[in-house]
């Protein structure tokens, strides 16, 4: 069935790829499957997308290109018939508080147009309806809808006196200059606990300003005026971008909270603009409505003059509904969106375009979606294809895999044991092939046989945050609980935002990057590197610091990184292997020191499995064994953390936690990036955390995981305002009989 213009990748060798050859049909949906670490991203993102990007960048001037000797050229012999690529990844849209769902989808701009045309009274052209425009913004919050406010309870400790350090801010501690500005005023009894202050004393301490203290004590600068703690902190730390503000950012974040702007009530606009209405609603009212409600409102406008505008708004809102984002409002700030939500918003932006002949690449579009919502995503993916585009999807969810016109399976395993194409063909051919993925697709999943008995209960009572409808739930201690429900039903709100208020000791494990320097690797992360350095030092009678990446023993050219990175202002960073040390990171002299016949660089190049044969010291062996147990035996000790795949990183973290002391763990969609066989491994790890005595809460859509939980809390019934209620609490299997639980319906299939 091979066609003349198929995309052909010849000799792909990025990361772990072993000279991969693959043919991808155009104008079809191709899904890439395979275990985590098998090389899917290496092929799809680091080779295909990167090459398209590179060709695009070729259009830059030679001035820039000449500076780029090896500009992002993927390790591949050739890629033929490659269309222009649009990558839809999980990178959050981010932005700042001025970037909202409305602004990034252009729906807010359309609303502005609508209000400028038919709003009454008429207040001006469409740009005055923008909260980013000085003419339109609320002057008190400058268009942000909220203002910074100092949380007094976090600022002072009422159980203490001034002398005991009642003001909980670094520069106001006993002995500090600012502290003297209160204890030397003669206004307060410096040994009186703040809880015993009269209302007036408290008001003076916190708020009063601009007068001379009548009876100051020694140490008071004679000409100075008194200034209360709050105005003082606001003046020095909140309103200025001063060096102090930066230096004390952490302390400031602790005492500052945001509250709704009292002038515009969160509407972000000035009173004149807010007074302009259509059918009794201002543009801010519209921006505060959920998509589903806003559609109803826009449809109710029956002015022939603006029909093209209203039609366009309804169409775009319809696309948001279609990708399962009907619960969002236009004023939701983009930095608060999850990775999955961000990807779906990007998708909506593309749906508006009428371009064809493009190559769209998706990174697990099912993330964050309940099985119930996956069908709508599938429909959109097919729409993109039917418009004449080629669609590539990296995906693990069987419900998405089954829409593939063509499947490519990478494997057979991960890392050095992977990097090959083990299958390519239609979905049906896959089902009858002997691959790992086919094995799982053909298997029936079972519920857990033996449900664990809880060792007690953690309670959350009357939770009302975001869309939660005054709910109370009990979470069983010492067992595994799955928190389920459609996207937007309130799972993250309940577990990520409310739960920590009750249980601050909860440890959250996600797939996000470990905050570490670019010198961090598996050996430093697991703490075995210190021991390895000591062994080398003793053996060679030198100082162990010589073997550190940031010592004089490191290659001076690349400063111990092994690679040279060139940072280009408006493009991705380009890296190449350091020519001085050939990527070995150390000076010649350091490389000459041996331990059991190996240099330090040899050791860093070893896989975990090989290192287990060489090191039998307990401090090294135990963490290495853990890594092997979680399926990471194929990684090398020196592999930078930043190059691990999402699933690998997550398992490295879990391996570290298995050594830890935590009691309460929360995993948020831990199956992201994981093949069904990895999910099995993950379930094994989660069980070990529980057997060790921990309480485990998993936010999940993956039915394989939910079936293996001891307890389930299902939120719903819908998303946003239509959600926020508890639909089911109990043993997962019993949810099948609960007609209110959508999740139960899918578990029963």
Closer to ligand ADP by CB, 190 or 437: give it: 437
Closer to ligand ADP by CB, 157 or 721: give it: 721
Q: Which does 261 bind (CB under 5 to 8 A by kind): Zn ion, ligand ADP, none?
A: Zn ion
β 563-566/574-577 pair status: antiparallel
CB of 375 to ligand ADP, least distance (A): 17
CB of 77 to ligand ADP, least distance (A): 18
φ, ψ of residue 31 to 5 degrees: the values are -105, 135
d(CA 357, CA 360): 9
DSSP 117-178: HH-BS---SGGGG-TTSTTTB-TTTTTSSEEEEE-HHHHB-TTSBTTTT-B-SGGGSTTSHH
Spatial neighbors of 490 by CB under 8 A, at least 6 apart, are 466, 467, 468, 715, 723, 724
Q: Which does 727 bind (CB under 5 to 8 A by kind): Zn ion, ligand ADP, none?
A: none
CB of 171 to Zn ion, least distance (A): 30
Spatial neighbors of 119 by CB under 8 A, at least 6 apart, are 276, 277, 278, 283
Tell which one of 9, 166, 264, 473 touches Zn ion (CB under 5 A). 264
Q: Are 266 and 145 in contact (CB under 8 A)?
A: yes
Q: Are 335 and 98 in contact (CB under 8 A)?
A: no
d(CA 547, CA 112): 62
* Torsion of Cα atoms, 673 then 677 then 679 then 683, to 10°: -160
CB of 387 to Zn ion, least distance (A): 42
Q: Which does 467 bind (CB under 5 to 8 A by kind): ligand ADP, Zn ion, none?
A: ligand ADP
DSSP 700-711: ---HHHHHT-SE
CB of 660 to ligand ADP, least distance (A): 23
CB of 200 to Zn ion, least distance (A): 31
CB of 468 to ligand ADP, least distance (A): 8
Spatial neighbors of 221 by CB under 8 A, at least 6 apart, are none
CB of 707 to ligand ADP, least distance (A): 19
If phi > 0 it is left, if psi is from -120 to 50 it is alpha, else beta; for residue 470 that is left
Spatial neighbors of 508 by CB under 8 A, at least 6 apart, are 496, 665, 666, 667, 668
Q: Which does 141 bind (CB under 5 to 8 A by kind): ligand ADP, Zn ion, none?
A: Zn ion
Q: Which does 140 bind (CB under 5 to 8 A by kind): ligand ADP, Zn ion, none?
A: Zn ion
The alpha carbon of residue 666 and the mean position of all alpha carbons in its chain are separated, in whole angstroms, by: 15
Closer to ligand ADP by CB, 312 or 669: give it: 669
Closer to Zn ion by CB, 273 or 403: give it: 273
Map residue 186 onto helix, strand or coil: coil
Stretch that binds Zn ion, among 284-292, 445-453, 478-486, 552-560 (CB under 5 A): 552-560
d(CA 332, CA 325): 12
d(CA 631, CA 649): 11
Q: Which does 37 bind (CB under 5 to 8 A by kind): Zn ion, ligand ADP, none?
A: ligand ADP
Tell which one of 57, 126, 263, 566 touches Zn ion (CB under 5 A). 263
CB of 562 to Zn ion, least distance (A): 6
Closer to ligand ADP by CB, 180 or 745: give it: 745
Q: Are 465 and 497 in contact (CB under 8 A)?
A: yes
Question: Which of 744, 652, 674 has the alpha carbon at shortest distance from 366?
Answer: 674
Stretch that binds Zn ion, among 21-29, 225-233, 549-557, 601-609 (CB under 5 A): 549-557
Q: Which does 263 bind (CB under 5 to 8 A by kind): Zn ion, ligand ADP, none?
A: Zn ion
Tell which one of 82, 581, 682, 709 touches Zn ion (CB under 5 A). 581
Closer to ligand ADP by CB, 119 or 490: give it: 490
Q: Which does 327 bind (CB under 5 to 8 A by kind): Zn ion, ligand ADP, none?
A: ligand ADP
CB of 445 to ligand ADP, least distance (A): 22
Q: Which does 41 bind (CB under 5 to 8 A by kind): ligand ADP, Zn ion, none?
A: ligand ADP
The maximal CA–CA distance of the chain, rounded, in angstroms, is 95
Closer to Zn ion by CB, 267 or 365: give it: 267
CB of 59 to ligand ADP, least distance (A): 28
Q: What are the Cα distances from residue 271, in Å, to 102, 130, 180?
A: 21, 13, 44
Question: Which of 698, 709, 706 has the alpha carbon at shortest distance from 670?
Answer: 698
Regarding 261 and contact with Zn ion (CB under 5 A), the answer is yes
Site for Zn ion in 106-145 (CB under 5 A): 138, 140-141
Terminal C-alpha separation, the chain: 35
Regarding 557 and contact with Zn ion (CB under 5 A), the answer is yes
Q: Which does 493 bind (CB under 5 to 8 A by kind): Zn ion, ligand ADP, none?
A: ligand ADP
Closer to ligand ADP by CB, 97 or 152: give it: 97
Closer to ligand ADP by CB, 415 or 744: give it: 415
Closer to Zn ion by CB, 539 or 588: give it: 588
Map residue 205 onto helix, strand or coil: helix
Residues of this chain that interact with ligand ADP (CB under 6 A) are 15-16, 34, 36-42, 327-328, 332, 336, 410, 414-415, 466-467, 485, 487-493, 635, 643-645, 647-648, 720
Closer to ligand ADP by CB, 34 or 623: give it: 34
β 76-80/209-211 pair status: unpaired
How do the residues of the chain divide into helix, strand and coil, expressed in percent and rounded to 5? 40, 20, 45
d(CA 383, CA 392): 14
CB of 554 to Zn ion, least distance (A): 8
Stretch that binds Zn ion, among 39-47, 218-226, 231-239, 258-266 (CB under 5 A): 258-266
Closer to ligand ADP by CB, 149 or 722: give it: 722
Applying CB under 5 A, the residues found at the interface with Zn ion are 138, 140-141, 261, 263-264, 555, 557-558, 578, 580-581
């Amino acid at each position: 069935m091979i066609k003349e213009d198929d995309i052909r990748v010849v000799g792909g060798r990025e990361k772990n790829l072993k000279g991969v050859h693959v043919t991808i049909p155009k104008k079809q949906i191709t899904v890439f499957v395979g275990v985590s670490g098998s090389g899917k991203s290496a092929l799809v993102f680091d080779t295909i997308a990167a090459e398209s990007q590179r060709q695009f960048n070729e259009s830059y001037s030679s001035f820039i290109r000449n500076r780029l000797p090896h500009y992002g050229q993927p390790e591949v012999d050739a890629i033929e018939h490659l269309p222009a690529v649009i990558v839809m990844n999980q990178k959050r849209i981010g932005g700042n508080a001025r970037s909202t769902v409305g602004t990034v989808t252009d729906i807010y701009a359309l609303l502005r147009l609508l209000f400028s045309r038919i709003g009454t009274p008429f207040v001006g052209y469409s740009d005055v309806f923008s909260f980013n425009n000085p003419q339109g913004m609320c002057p008190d919050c400058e268009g942000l809808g909220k203002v910074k406010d100092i949380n007094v309870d976090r600022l002072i400790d009422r159980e203490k006196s001034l002398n005991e350090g009642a003001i909980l801010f670094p520069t106001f501690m006993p002995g500090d200059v600012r502290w003297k500005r209160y204890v030397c005023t003669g206004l307060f009894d410096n040994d009186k606990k703040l809880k015993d202050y009269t209302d007036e004393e408290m008001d003076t301490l916190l708020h009063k300003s601009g007068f001379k203290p009548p009876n100051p004590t020694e140490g008071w600068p004679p000409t100075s005026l008194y200034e209360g703690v709050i105005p003082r902190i606001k003046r020095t730390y909140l309103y200025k971008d001063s060096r102090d503000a930066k230096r004390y950012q952490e302390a400031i974040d602790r005492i500052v909270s945001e509250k709704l702007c009292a002038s515009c009530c969160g509407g972000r606009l000035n009173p004149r603009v807010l007074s302009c209405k259509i059918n009794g609603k201002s543009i801010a009212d519209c921006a505060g409505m959920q998509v589903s409600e806003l559609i109803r409102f826009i449809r109710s406008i029956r002015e022939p003059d603006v029909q093209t505008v209203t039609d366009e708004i309804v169409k775009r809102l319809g696309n948001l509904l279609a990708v399962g984002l009907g619960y969002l409002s236009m004023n939701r700030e983009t930095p608060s969106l999850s990775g999955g939500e961000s990807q779906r918003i990007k998708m909506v932006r593309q749906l508006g375009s009428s371009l064809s002949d493009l190559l769209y690449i998706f990174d697990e579009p099912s993330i964050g979606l309940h099985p119930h919502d996956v069908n709508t995503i599938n429909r959109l993916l097919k729409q993109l294809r039917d418009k004449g585009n080629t669609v590539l999807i990296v995906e693990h969810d069987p419900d998405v895999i089954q829409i593939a016109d063509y499947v490519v399976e990478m494997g057979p395993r991960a890392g050095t044991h992977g990097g090959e194409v083990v299958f390519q063909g239609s979905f049906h051919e896959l089902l009858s092939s002997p691959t790992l993925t086919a094995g799982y697709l053909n298997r029936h999943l079972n519920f857990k046989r033996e449900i664990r008995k809880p060792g007690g209960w953690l309670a959350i009572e009357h939770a009302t945050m975001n869309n939660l409808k005054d709910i109370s739930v009990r979470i069983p201690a010492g067992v595994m609980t799955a928190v389920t429900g459609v996207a937007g039903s309130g799972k993250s709100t309940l577990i990520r935002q409310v739960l920590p208020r009750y249980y601050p000791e909860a440890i959250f494990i996600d797939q996000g990057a470990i905050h570490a320097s670019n010198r961090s690797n598996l050996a430093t992360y697991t703490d075995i590197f210190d021991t390895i350095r000591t062994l080398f030092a003793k053996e060679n009678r030198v100082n162990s610091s010589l073997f550190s990446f940031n010592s004089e023993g490191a290659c001076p050219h690349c400063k111990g990184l092994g690679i040279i990175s060139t940072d280009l202002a408006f493009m991705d960073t380009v890296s190449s292997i350091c020519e001085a040390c050939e990527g070995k990171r150390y000076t010649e002299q350091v490389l000459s020191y041996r331990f059991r016949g190996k240099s330090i660089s040899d050791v860093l190049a070893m896989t975990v499995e090989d290192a287990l044969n060489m090191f039998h010291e307990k401090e090294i062996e135990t963490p290495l064994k853990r890594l092997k147990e979680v399926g990471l035996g194929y990684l090398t000790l020196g592999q930078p953390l930043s190059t691990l795949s999402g699933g690998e990183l997550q398992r490295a973290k879990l391996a570290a936690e298995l050594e830890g002391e935590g009691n309460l763990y929360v995993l948020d969609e831990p199956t992201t990036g994981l093949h069904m066989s990895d999910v099995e491994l993950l379930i094994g790890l989660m069980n070990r955390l529980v057997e060790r005595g921990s309480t485990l809460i998993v936010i999940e859509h993956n039915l394989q995981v939910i079936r293996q939980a001891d307890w389930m809390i299902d939120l719903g019934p819908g998303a946003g305002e239509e959600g926020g209620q508890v639909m089911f609490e109990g043993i997962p299997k019993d949810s099948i009989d609960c007609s209110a639980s959508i999740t139960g319906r899918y578990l029963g299939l």
